[in-house]
Structure 1
Amino acid sequence: MSGLVNDGMDKGSMMESEDRIEKTVDIYVSAEAVRDMKHKKDTEDFNTSKTQTPQHTGSDSVRIRSSRAALVCLVLLCVLLLTAVIVLCVQLFTNNSTNYTEETHQLLTNITNLTDERDQLLNKITNITEERNELLTNNTNLTKERDELKIKNKNLINEKDQLRNTLQIFDKLTTYKFSFYYISNETKSWNESRRYCTEKGADLVIINNSDEQDFVNHMSGAAVVWIGLTDSDVEGRWKWVDGTNMTSGFWESRSNEPNGGTSENCAVTVDKQNKEWPNHSGWIDVQCNKIFQWICEKNISKLIMP
C-alpha cells in the first residue's frame, strides 16, 4: 500500500516538474519573441526616419508644452526677480534720500549754529576792540593830564623859586589887597626897570583905581617912579603892560598930560611932595630912556595859579 502511495506521489511530482519546465520555456520563448519584435520595429523605425519626415508623437507634444511652460515660468521668475530688484532699489534710494535729507538738514543746522557762533565771536571782538580803544583814549587823556600836571608842577616850582628870589632880593615888600609891591632903591630906564620886574616874576605896577593910586603915591613918597603904562606901539593909545587898554587914568592936569607926543611914550607917577615937579600929582609922560625908580607888582593869584 505504501508503495502505491509513493508511486502516486512520484508521478504527481514529475508532472508538476514538467509543467514548470514547459512554462519556463514558454517564458523564454515569449521574451525572445518580444526582443525580436522590438529589434525589428527599431530597425524599421530607423529606416523609416531616413526616408520620411519625422512626425511629432504625443509624447513630443507633451515635452514641448512642458518646455514652453518651463520657459514661461522662467520668464515670470525673471520678471518677479527684476521687480523685486527694482522695488529693493527704490526702497534703498528712498531710504538713502531720507537719510540724505536728514543729513542735509543736520548740516544746515550745524552751519546755522556755526554762523551764530561766528557772529557772537565777531560781536565779542567788536566789543573788545571798542573797550581797547576806550582804554587807549583814557590812557592818552591820562598821559595828557600827567603832562599838564608836570607842567603845572614845573611852573609852581618856578613860581616858588621866583618868589624866593623876590623875597631874598627885594629890600622892601608891601602887600595891598591881592598883590605884592616892591619899590626899587636904584634908578633905571623904563625898559630896564620892566626887565628887572619880569626877571623876578612880576611886572611894572598897573593902577586900576584911585585907592591903588593913593597907595602907590604913599609908597613912593617924594620919588618919581615908573608905572607899567606906555603908548610906544601906537601914539596916543596907552596900554598897560598886561596888554589891556587904559580906559581912565590919573594924568597930571596942570601940565595937560600927556603932552609929550611921539618923544615921550612912557609914564611915571609923582606925588605933590616931589621936588622935581613941585605941586604936581598924577601921571606924566616922559622919554622912556630917562632913569627913575620903579615899582614892581605881582598878583597873589599868580603865585597860586600861573
Structure 2
Amino acid sequence: MEMREDIYANAGNVAQNGSDSDSSDQSYEEVYVNDVSIDAHKPRSEQRNSSAISSGKKSSRQIQNEAAFHKDSEKADKSSHLQTADPQNRGRSSAGGRCYRLAAVCLGLLCVLLLTAITLLWIKFNNLTAERDQLHTSYTNLTAERDQLHTSYTNLTAERDQLQTSYTDLTMEKDQLQTSCNNLTVERDQLQTSYTSLTKERDQLQTSYTNLTKERDQLRTRCVDVTKERDHLKTSYTSVMEQLQIERAKGNLQGWKSFNTSLYYISTEKTNWSESREDCRKRGVDLVIINSRKEHEFIASQLGSDQAWIGLSDIKNEGQWEWVDGSALTTGYWMKNEPNNQGNEDCGEILGPQANKVWNDRPCSYSQRWICEKTVV
C-alpha cells in the first residue's frame, strides 16, 4: 500500500508540474528574452552570479523548470551574445523562443506519456496482485490436496503391503495345495495302477481258481483211477513175483535183472545191432526201451565201464530217432555234441557210469553187448 501511495503522489506532482509549466511558459519566455538582452553586456561571471541570486528568489517549481532547461539557457546565452554582437541576429531570438515552446510541448507530452505509463503499470500491478492472490489461494488448495494425497498414499501403501503379505501367504498356500494335489494325483495314479493290477490278478486268480477247481476234480477222478490202477498193479505185482519165483525155480530167467515191472537181460557176448535185436526176439522180448531217468540210471549202473546196444535207431529216416516199438524219441540222455552221425552212425548205445551214463550213436555193424527188456505186466 505504501508503494501505491508513492506512485499516486509522484503522478500528482508530475501532473501539477506539467500544468504550472504550461501556464507560465509565456511569462517566462518574455522575461527570459529581456534578461538575455541585458545579460549579454555583462561578463560571464556576473551572469552566473545573477542567475544564482535570481534562482534563490524563485520558487521550487521554477527551480525545477530552470534545471530542466539549463542547456537551453546556455544555448540562449550564445544566441543573445550573437544578437548583441550583430543586430541582424535579433530575428533569430524569436526562432529560439519557438524552439523553447516546442521543447515545453515535448516535455508536456513526456509527462503525459509518463502518466500513461504509470497508469498502465498500476493496472498491471493490480492484475499481478490479483493473480498473486489467486496463485496463493491455488497454492493453499494444492498444499491441502497434496496433504490429502500424501495421506491417501500412506493408506494405500499400508493397504498394498497388507495385500502383498496376503498375496504371498496365498501364493505359498497355493503352492502347498498344488504340491499336495500333485502328490495326491501321483498317489491316485499309483492306486489306480495297483487297483488295475489287483483287478487283473483277481481275474487271474479267479481263472486259476476255476482251473484249479477243475484240475482238482480231474485229480480226484484220476486219483480214483490211479487208486484202482495201484490196486490192480499190486495184484499184478503179486502175480508177477509168484511167476518170477516159478521161472527162477525152473531156471529160465538166469542172468535177468528186475527193475519196477520190467526184467532186463544184459548179454555177456558181443555182436552187431541187428543180431542183438534178433537174439532178444528169440527170447520173446526186444531191445530195451528207456522211458525215464531212473530207468536210464539203473541200466547204466549195470554196465560198469562197458557199453551196450539199446532199442534206438534212425535207420528208417536219418535224424529221426525212434524206438523198436515204432514210438518217437521224446527225451534223450545224449553225450555232448551227440548224435553227430560220423561214419553212418544209425544205432544208439548206452555208456556205463565211468563214461558219465550217457547215450551215443554208433555204426550198427559195431560188435558189443546188448540189453533186452521184458515187461511183466
Give the alignment's TM-score, normalised by structure 1. 0.41
Bigger proportion of residues as helix: 2
Q: Relative contact order, CA 8 A, sep 6+: which one is greater?
A: 1
Structure of larger gyration radius: 2
Give the alignment's TM-score, normalised by structure 2. 0.35
